[in-house]
Amino acid sequence: MFRQPKIEYKTPAQMLVMRDAGLVLADALDRTVAAAEVGVTTAYLNEVFESVLQEAGATSNFLGYHGFPASICTSVNEEVVHGIPGDYVLADGDILSVDGGAVVSGWHSDSARTTIVGAARPEDVRLSRVTEDAMWHGIAALASARHVGDVGAAIDDYVASVPGAELGILEDYVGHGIGTQMHQAPDVLNYRSSNRGPRVREGLCLAIEPMLVQGGLGTRVLEDDWTVVTTDGGRASQWEHSVAVHDGGIWVLSAPDGGASQLEPLGVRPVLPAE
């Protein structure tokens, strides 16, 4: 019979090194998003991100990954994920998702966020807000989850509960385990499935990353073999954090406060791993 990929479980000490990587990444994303202004190229944003990693003595886990040519993904408007930074000049009203990662002492972090450049359209604000909130509902569910699939169920249930125009959850791109590599087992679905996934146990570290779109769920990959776009031109948003499960609870490794500001209103108090 086919065997499931082996999951790498981390010690609290290893999680703390992943937190170091996550804090570098949070700073890099903060500065990159702050630099995302009308008239700036996405290549410049990549330079900003790389400079922060260099200052901190960290390295990028995106650059060179299966040949990827940059340290961040910059996905604009109908681009869902894996957009390559380049000569594109950000315009007023663009919705931009920035996805990046950092490595410290061999341990990886991965996080993404969406921002709107210049004057924002209300429907884009809503798209980003619902995507971010869906991510936090998934993270909150992890705190008491029995199986990894409970995360996707929570994300799906939250998105379905939001009033107004329906937003679609992409199913072709999912979250993942993270640790000594950026992408590891298990897959973390962003939707409810009959496949409940592996049991949640101490030492599990996951990158939880819902991707929502305003239109249909159809996507295609551009000729650069990386950039994923919606086939109907609907705009997209991606939010992501790396999260650790340990004997005291959960901690969001790529959030400076461990996710407290977002999780406590959802009834979850994050706890820092203790060596």
pLDDT tens track for 49-79: 999 999 999 999 999 999 999 999 999 999 9
Query: Is 95 a member of any domain?
Result: yes
232-253 burial: b if 16+ Cβ within 10 Å, else e: eebbbbbbbbbbbbbeebbbbb
Query: DSSP 3-state assignment of 275?
Result: coil
Query: Is 274 a member of any domain?
Result: no
Average pLDDT, the chain: 97
The pLDDT value recorded for residue 3 is: 59
For residue 52, give the CATH number of its domain.
Answer: 3.90.230.10
Measured distance CA(269)–CA(190) in Å, rounded:
22
Residue that is written with structure tokens 């919705």 in the block: 95
Measured distance CA(7)–CA(40) in Å, rounded:
41
2 pLDDT higher than 70: no
Query: Is 3 a member of any domain?
Result: no
The single-letter code of the amino acid at 20 is: D
Query: Is 197 a member of any domain?
Result: yes
Share of the chain above pLDDT 90, in %: 97
Annotated binding site for a divalent metal cation: 99, 110, 176, 209, 240
Measured distance CA(4)–CA(13) in Å, rounded:
26
Annotated binding site for substrate: 82, 183
142 pLDDT higher than 90: yes
Domain total of the chain: 1
Query: Is 18 a member of any domain?
Result: yes
Measured distance CA(32)–CA(232) in Å, rounded:
29
Annotated binding site: 82, 99, 110, 176, 183, 209, 240
Query: DSSP 3-state assignment of 123?
Result: helix
Strand ranges, E, within 30-81: 72-76, 79-81
Q: How confident is the model at residue 5 (pLDDT cuts 50, 70, 90)?
A: confident
The pLDDT value recorded for residue 1 is: 43
- Please give the span between the terminal C-alpha atoms of the chain, in angstroms, as a whole number: 38
Query: Is 34 a member of any domain?
Result: yes
pTM across the whole model:
0.97
Query: Is 4 a member of any domain?
Result: no
Other Cβ atoms closer than 10 A to 121: 12
Average pLDDT over residues 183-208: 96
121 pLDDT higher than 50: yes
Task: Identify the domain containing residue 170 by its residue range.
Answer: 12-266
Average pLDDT over residues 88-114: 98
Query: Is 164 a member of any domain?
Result: yes
